[in-house]
Amino acid sequence: MPDLRAPIITRLRQGTGVGWLRVAILLVLDSLMLSLAWIIADSWGTPVNSFELFWKSSQEPGFLLPIMVISLGILAASGLYGTDDKRRDYFTLIKSLTLAQIVLLIIAFLYKPGLIVSRSTFLLSWLLSIIFVCTERLLIQLAIVSLRRQGAIRQRIFLLGDPGDVEEARKLLDRTARFDVRGQAILPSESNQEFWIEILDRVRQLRVSEVFVCSWEAVRAPIFLYWELMSSGISLRVLPIGLKIPSQWSEIKMIDGLTTIRFRSPPILGSDFWTKRFVDIVAAISVLMLASPLFLAIALLIKFDSRGPIFYKQNRVGLKGRHFKVWKFRTMVIDADRLQKELEAKNEMKGGVMFKMKDDPRITRVGKFLRRYSLDELPQIINVLLGEMSLVGPRPFPLRDVEKMSEHHFIRHEVLPGITGLWQVSGRSNVVDFEDVFRLDITYIQNWSLALDFQILLQTIKVVLQKEGAY
């Protein structure tokens, strides 16, 4: 007897075709990158016929087939072709590619124990695979972000919940630039079957792929809603606006039928911190070596332009609230700190936490040029080498600004401050509300990754060259 609760053929989930297309594109591009890595490694590595492991010669068309099957299979098993943010987990991507290389070596030993394997070929292929695949995925992500900011390839959704929760959800989802909110509905205090039938018809007509429920406790018949949406090919997602929980990476875990939310450890701790620190040191040393002529030229310009020292050192608040002196090229007259008190009434930052003034009379002629291109920040490379700052992170504020902060703002001091950050690439001085600055800092802290750091650094170069929001 057929199941009368559902249609004979349940509709495919809305957006399934787009999802399959995304997976197909990733598979093709990953295959090309892996093939290119192995072909280059085979040509550069020591020729010892190591490719006789699965095939007769690297010149034959099918010699890459077993490599592709093993590598792509491990990437798929790691969830790197899945939905949401999993496919952009570069740390898991590196681990999976490394595991694929280890599996190939193990199979080589078991299949043909006496085979002489070219170590240079395997090492090169491992390194090039990581570089090529990570770069490919980063470029894809940058392209997707750019298209979404223009309103393209956004996921069509519908919001359902209490008035306040729906409005808050819309604001949060708009910030991600990933969703196109096609409609919304307010849950009445006493919902009936006619209300749900009307909502479901409306959702189907809008052809959305997901319904976001912002007030789950207000849904009187959740199993009915779930069943009807799923049978129509529409996914159901709960957005816990009213549940005040830390906005941190989490996963749903079932314990004897009980749903729980488990949070992962915060980023930029432990091995994350030391990885970030290693990259900072290598990059800082490279910048000092390459930019030393520029440092000398700027120092001479400052010395000839106005009276005072070349460098300006100011007390700032850094990691765990510790005070340190930040290094900058001097861009103001020598008594700038005293003059600031007379200019406080002209502060353009809302809330009074930070001091920003577009036509600040304290800035020198050379200082205006340095600030326009953010060249005054270059000496902070010294702070990076001393371990007081990082290349990317929340900006360190002067004591005057920190004293005006609210208690919830001090979470910024749990990570190393940075020379650049999300605030700098999101408008810089054009962001005039300190709460917006704080929100950008928290977004960075909660979503940190090396890929995000590299993305911000690249975006910083673009922002500096275009002189966006600089004064």
**Is 262 among the domain residues?**
no
Q: Specify the pLDDT at position 265.
A: 61
**118-132, 181-195, 233-247, 281-295: segment of lowest average pLDDT:** 233-247
Q: Specify the pLDDT at position 388.
A: 94
Domain with residue 211: its CATH number is 3.40.50.11900
Alpha helices in 157-192 (DSSP H): 163-176
Better-scored residue on pLDDT, 283 or 261: 283
Q: Specify the pLDDT at position 143.
A: 86
**Is 218 among the domain residues?**
yes
| pLDDT tens digits for range 127-149 | 999 999 999 998 888 888 888 88
Which structural domain, as residue segments, surrounds residue 199? 155-244
Nearest to 211 by CA among 197, 195, 194, 228: 228
* Residue 289 in this model has a pLDDT that exceeds 80: yes
Indicate if 59 and 173 belong to the same structural domain. no
Give the bridge partners for 332, in sequence order: 363
CA distance 127 to 131: 6
Indicate if 382 and 322 belong to the same structural domain. yes
| pLDDT tens digits for range 50-79 | 444 444 444 444 557 888 888 999 998 888
Better-scored residue on pLDDT, 277 or 407: 277
Residue with tokens 């079957």: 193
Identify the burial level of 85 via C-beta atoms within 10 angstroms of its C-beta, where 0-12 means exposed, 13-18 middle and 19 or more buried.
Answer: exposed
* Residue 387 in this model has a pLDDT that exceeds 60: yes
**Is 109 among the domain residues?**
yes
CA distance 427 to 352: 19
Mean pLDDT to the nearest integer, 111-116: 59
**Is 249 among the domain residues?**
no
Average pLDDT of the chain, as a whole number: 78
| pLDDT tens digits for range 394-452 | 999 888 888 888 887 888 888 899 999 888 887 655 566 777 888 888 888 877 888 88
Work out the pLDDT band at 246, boundaries 50, 70, 90: low
Work out the pLDDT band at 7, boundaries 50, 70, 90: very low
Q: Specify the pLDDT at position 429.
A: 55
Mean pLDDT to the nearest integer, 230-241: 79
Indicate if 84 and 142 belong to the same structural domain. yes
Which pair of tokens denotes residue 53?
Answer: 């492991």
Indicate if 279 and 233 belong to the same structural domain. no
Q: What is the enclosing helix (H) or strand (E) of 445?
A: helix 434-446
Q: Specify the pLDDT at position 281.
A: 94
Indicate if 60 and 142 belong to the same structural domain. yes
DSSP secondary structure, 96-151, as one string: HHHHHHHHHHHHHHHH-TT----HHHHHHHHHHHHHHHHHHHHHHHHHHHHHHHTT
Q: Specify the pLDDT at position 89.
A: 78
CA distance 218 to 10: 27
Final residue of a domain: which of 227, 244, 261? 244
Final residue of a domain: which of 92, 115, 149? 149
**Is 258 among the domain residues?**
no
Which pair of tokens denotes residue 121?
Answer: 């070929």
Indicate if 167 and 228 belong to the same structural domain. yes
Which pair of tokens denotes residue 68?
Answer: 């592709």
The letter for the amino acid at 27 is L
Indicate if 442 and 303 belong to the same structural domain. yes
Phi and psi, residue 222, nearest 5° = -65, -35
| pLDDT tens digits for range 13-63 | 555 566 678 888 889 999 999 989 888 887 886 654 544 444 444 444 455
Indicate if 457 and 384 belong to the same structural domain. yes
Nearest to 168 by CA among 116, 239, 108: 239
* Residue 10 in this model has a pLDDT that exceeds 60: no
Mean pLDDT to the nearest integer, 338-361: 62
Better-scored residue on pLDDT, 248 or 285: 285
Indicate if 285 and 141 belong to the same structural domain. no
Indicate if 325 and 387 belong to the same structural domain. yes
**Is 189 among the domain residues?**
yes
Provide, rounded to the nearest whole percent, the portion of the chain with pLDDT above 90: 17
Indicate if 376 and 353 belong to the same structural domain. yes
Total count of domains within the chain: 3
Parallel/antiparallel/unpaired status of strands 258-263 and 250-255: antiparallel
Work out the pLDDT band at 380, boundaries 50, 70, 90: very high
Indicate if 432 and 406 belong to the same structural domain. yes
pTM above 0.95, yes or no: no
Q: In what order do the strands lie in the sheet with 323-329?
A: 323-329, 311-317, 397-398
Final residue of a domain: which of 244, 259, 287? 244
